[in-house]
Amino acid sequence: MTEFAHESIVDGWFREANESCFPGQAFTLKVEKILYHAHSEFQDILVFKSTTYGNVLVLDGIIQCTERDEFAYQEMITHIPLYLHKNPKRVLVIGGGDGGVVRELLKHECLTHITQVEIDETVIKLARKYFPGMSYGLDNPRVQIKLCDGFKYLQDLANASVEEKYDVIITDSSDPEGPAEEFFKDTYFKLLKNALKDNDSLIITQTSENIWLNINYLQNLLKAAKSVFPNTKYCYTMVPTYTSGQLGLMVCSPDETLELTSPVRVPSDTEQENLKYYNSEIHKASFILPNWSNKLLNNFH
């Protein structure tokens, strides 16, 4: 170990146990070395090197990413909406201070402008130091970083011109506690819709939960989103170090005729070579749910 310590690490094991988010279960990783721990202005931040998953970023006790499996999340939350848009140019990322989503966005040569809004500059600084494989795209000239609250940024877009609005908005927030709490309410979806350029635009957000953890919460989140975006669907990605090994995503479009389960563009051979997880078939498959959860999430009113 080092001079750093953290209450979640005991006898060389990190333990993620959060009764409010993941009641009745926990997840553990063996720790090789604690690299950083501090309280920023907004949250508790821990970075450690694990024995099997590389460096790990933990915010308020919950794993955000590991070097070994982060691509499974970054690719799906990025490429699902990007390949659903015919010709995306401008993308907004709310959160995502680790840089993983921006890295994936830069694989789309059609994009001319990427705005990243991150409230906690400390996360960006730590990503540059401990997660260079994720954060290197933050210095790209197509990327503009704004250090402010994402909710407030969207409010300020209310009177923006069409040219200042976005084709795709990706909410890559932490879980709905602390600074990210407002990102899981119907008022947030209204702001998102107002920040979209036109009817072809899309939004996607991580849901914090999956079908195995709190499906009632997912029902309520889908209801909130559908009150603003009637064309809303739940899908998921598989990430071993997220609790239960699965994380839900929710994609929405103002266009009620757009079939969200089928990409309108497909990766070129060159683009596909640079993807470890996403492909057109897994895009479609990610929306297919087991019978019991499909009934609860796709057949309610």
The one catalytic residue among 60, 120, 172, 200: 172
Helix/strand/coil (H, E, C) string of the chain? CCCCCCCCEECCEEEECCCCCCCCCCEEEEEEEEEEEEECCCCEEEEEEECCCCEEEEECCEEEEECCCHHHHHHHHHHHHHCCCCCCCEEEEEECCCCHHHHHHCCCCCCCEEEEECCCHHHHHHHHHHCHHHHHHHHCCCEEEECCCHHHHHHHHHHCCHHHCECEEEEECCCCCHHHHHHHCHHHHHHHHHCECCCCCEEEEECCCCCCCCHHHHHHHHHHHHCCCCEEEEEEEECCCCHHHEEEEEEEECCCCCCCCCCCCCCCHHHHHCCCCCCHHHHHHCCCCCHHHHHHHHCCC
Active site residue 172: yes
Query: Catalytic site residues?
Result: 172
